[in-house]
Amino acid sequence: MNYLNVLKNATFLGIVILLIFTCGCEKIQDMRPPDQPEMIDSASIRVSVVYPGNCLGDSSYCDVLFNGAQKAKMGLGVDITEMESNAETWGTRLQEAAQTSDLVITSGYQMADPISRVAPEFPEVIFVIFDAAVDLPNVVSFTHRVNEGTFLLGAIAGLKTETGKVGYLGGADVPLIHEFEAGYVAGVKAVNPDAEIIKGYVADNEQGFYQPEVGEIIATTQYGLGVDVIYTMADQSGFGAVEAAKLAEGRYVIWNYIDITDVAPGVVLSGLRVGIDDSVYNVIKEFAAGDLMAGVRSLGLAEDNVGYLLGEGNEDLLSEGLLEKVDALKAGIIAGEITVPVVP
């Protein structure tokens, strides 16, 4: 399959589109700076973003972090040094960033151990990590209740399926990705108790996010077993599921973090929204104002930091009645009437 063309298109989307959301069925807006940017004294702070992989252009996790950095550049007028990394260079990249920065931002469960080792070496530098909790005096951690958002995605899949079979494709078979699965499975069962859920993981480590060929094999197998909706939490490997859905009639994908309906019109039903982009902007603003405090912040539906995406052009795939049911479940979670599991 021509994954290169898919990735090129996805890279374009990741760079051009910033997601700004206003409701349960989140619409897409372009990445323009505010009419009156909240300029700060950019010369007074030095900011670095360390990506958890060579992952820019994945139209998923890394691109939403990238979008947050671009929003801060345009909206706050701050210069940001950005660098990719891999398993061999996580610690080194964090050290390099800390040597020239006042604020270092990174993300991903795999960065928790490296940041735990590096942060004590630079007590005057503030580190920010998304999707991991690190208890150190100079670390700000953001954890997202992604299971609440994936519960809604599961409800979409459970209501949309015509075969009674839905799939889950995870990139790495690790605890954080299990949280995505747990919410998704619970959401499916909440609306379709008899639905069968077929699961598959690409690998047992972060390399599972970078193997679209394997993702396509797993997705093709699931579709062949009668699955008609797959939720993919697999970053670049998820493009394999998109390709498999394109080749099969009446098969759909639910994506993550970025709307990719332009890449695969008629195939992508929805996606998980996680407001990392907004959090990056806000954390830099807080730091500049001297208000950034170490500690762990937990964000979910109640804070309007997770949700589901509804992209331009795919509204006809999800009926108004279906979305009303999903939004009712969202309200139930926020009200505390529905408890979403964190383990499958």
Q: What is the pLDDT of residue 264?
A: 85
- CB-CB neighbours of 36 under 10 Å: 7
Q: What is the pLDDT of residue 189?
A: 99
Indicate the pTM of the whole model. 0.84
Sequence-distant (≥ 6) Cβ neighbours of residue 164 within 8 angstroms: 192, 194, 195, 196, 226
- Retrieve residue 294's tokens: 């170490």
Spell out the domains of the chain, with CATH numbers in brackets: 3-145+275-299 (3.40.50.2300), 147-273+310-334 (3.40.50.2300)
Average pLDDT by stretches of 10, the chain with 344 residues:
41 36 36 44 81 78 89 91 92 97 94 97 97 96 97 99 98 94 99 98 94 97 98 94 95 92 89 94 93 96 95 83 98 98 94
Q: What is the pLDDT of residue 12?
A: 36
d(CA 253, CA 157): 9
Q: Which of 29, 10, 3, 7 is nearest to 311 (CA)?
A: 29
Q: What is the pLDDT of residue 38?
A: 56
Q: What is the pLDDT of residue 234?
A: 93
Q: What is the pLDDT of residue 41?
A: 61
Q: What is the pLDDT of residue 124?
A: 96
Burial class (CB in 10 A: 0-12, 13-18, 19+), 275: buried
- Collapsing DSSP to helix, strand or coil, 342 comes out as coil
